[in-house]
C-alpha cells in the first residue's frame, strides 16, 4: 500500500525537459531518499509533488486522492508538509510563537482567532509538548534570528510536525551545515516517529545511508534506479553517474 504515489509525471519549461515520466512510491512510515547529481531535477520533482509547479503529464496521489491540481497551500490539510532549502520562519518572533502559529494554522477556528494565542489552552499545551519532546524548552523565548543555523532548521521541522503530517518532505536538510550540525540533523531525522513517512532530497551520502529505507536516483530528469540502500550502493551505473566511476559509495 502506498501513501504517496508519483505516477509518470513529466515537466518541461519551454524546450527544456526537466522531468520525464518519473514514478515513485512512498509507503506509510517509510524513509525514502532521492539522490542524483546537480541538475537531475530533484527540487523540480518536489515542486511538482507539492503543487508549486503544474504538471505537463502524469499524476500525484496522496492516500489514493489525486492531489495534482490541488493548490499547494491546501495540501498541508491533507497531510503533506514540506521543509525548504532556505528557512521559512518568522525571524523576529520567538521559537514558541512560531510553533503556536503553525499549530493554530490547522485548527478549525484558525480564521476566527480574536484573542491572543496564549489564551488558547489547546495550542499552548501542544506547543509545550513539542518543545519538551525535542528538548528545546530552554530556547522557547529566544527570537528565531538569534538561533544558530542548525537550531533554525530543527525549528522548521517542528513547524512541519505541528501540522500533523502523514508525510514530510525534506529538501536538502543538511545544506550549508557544518559537520557537527549535519550529524545532529541526521539524528533528528532518525528520531522522527514512524507515524510520519519521509521523502528526502539529500546530497550527503553518509546521511543518506544512515536514514534511508529506500532510495531513488534521478539523472537528467529520469529515474535510473530505485531500491534498497545496498542495491544503490553496489550498483555500477550509480557509481559511474553519481560517485565518479569506480569511487566507493560510502561517502
Q: Are strands 197-201 and 167-171 parallel, antiparallel or unpaired?
A: parallel
Cβ-based neighbour number of residue 71 at 10 Å: 9
**Three-state SS sequence of 112-165:** CCCCCHHHCHHHHHHHHHHHHHCCCHHHCCCEHHHCCHHHHHHHHHHHHHHCCC
Which H, E and C letters describe 191-221, residue by residue?
HCCCCCEEEEECCCHHHHHHHCCEEEEEECC
Q: How many CB atoms lie within 10 A of CB 215?
A: 25
pLDDT of residue 246: 42
Task: Give the pLDDT confidence score for residue 133 in this predicted structure.
Answer: 87
Q: SS in 3 state form for 25-81? A: EECCCCEEEEECCCCCCHHHHHHHHCCCCCCCEEEEEECCEECCCCCHHHHHHHCEE
Residue partners of 121: CB distance under 8 A and separation at least 6: none
Global pTM? 0.85
In tens digits, what is the pLDDT along the chain, a chain of 251 residues?
A: 899 999 999 999 989 999 999 999 999 999 999 999 888 999 999 999 999 999 999 999 999 999 998 988 889 889 999 886 556 687 889 999 999 888 887 766 555 555 555 566 788 888 999 899 888 899 999 999 998 888 888 888 888 888 889 999 998 888 888 898 889 889 989 999 999 999 999 989 899 999 999 999 999 999 999 999 999 888 888 878 766 644 443 33
Helix (H, G, I), strand (E, B) or coil at 229: helix
Cα separation values, 187 from 66, 95, 128, 176, 184, Å: 33, 21, 22, 17, 5
**For 157, how many CA atoms within 13 A lie in the half-sphere containing its CB?**
28
In order of their start, the domains of the chain are 1-79+165-251 (3.40.50.300), 89-159 (no CATH)
The closest of 80, 77, 84 to 152, measured between CA atoms, is 84
Amino acid at each position: 500500500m502506498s501513501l504517496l504515489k508519483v505516477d509518470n509525471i513529466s515537466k518541461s519549461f519551454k524546450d527544456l525537459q526537466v522531468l520525464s515520466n518519473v514514478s515513485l512510491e512512498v509507503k506509510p512510515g517509510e524513509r525514502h531518499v532521492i539522490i542524483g547529481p546537480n541538475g537531475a531535477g530533484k527540487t523540480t520533482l518536489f515542486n511538482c509533488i507539492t503543487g508549486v509547479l503544474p504538471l505537463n503529464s502524469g499524476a500525484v496521489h496522496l492516500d489514493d486522492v489525486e492531489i495534482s491540481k490541488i493548490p499547494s497551500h491546501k495540501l498541508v490539510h491533507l497531510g503533506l508538509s514540506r521543509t525548504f532549502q532556505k528557512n521559512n520562519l518568522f525571524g523576529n518572533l520567538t521559537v514558541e510563537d512560531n510553533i503556536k502559529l503553525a499549530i493554530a494554522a490547522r485548527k478549525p477556528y484558525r480564521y476566527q482567532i480574536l484573542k491572543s494565542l496564549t489564551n488558547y489552552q489547546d495550542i499552548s499545551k501542544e506547543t509545550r509538548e513539542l518543545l519538551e519532546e525535542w528538548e528545546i524548552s530552554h530556547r522557547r523565548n529566544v527570537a528565531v534570528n538569534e538561533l544558530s543555523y542548525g537550531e533554525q532548521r530543527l525549528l522548521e521541522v517542528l513547524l512541519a510536525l505541528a501540522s500533523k503530517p502523514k508525510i514530510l518532505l525534506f529538501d536538502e536538510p543538511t545544506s550549508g551545515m557544518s559537520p557537527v550540525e549535519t550529524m545532529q540533523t541526521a539524528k533528528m531525522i532518525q528520531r522522527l516517529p514512524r507515524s510520519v513517512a519521509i521523502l528526502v532530497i539529500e546530497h550527503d551520502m553518509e546521511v543518506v545511508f544512515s536514514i534511508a529505507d529506500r532510495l531513488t536516483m534521478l539523472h537528467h530528469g529520469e529515474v535510473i534506479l530505485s531500491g534498497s540502500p545496498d542495491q544503490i550502493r553496489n550498483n555500477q551505473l550509480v557509481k559511474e553517474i553519481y560517485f565518479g566511476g569506480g569511487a566507493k559509495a560510502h561517502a
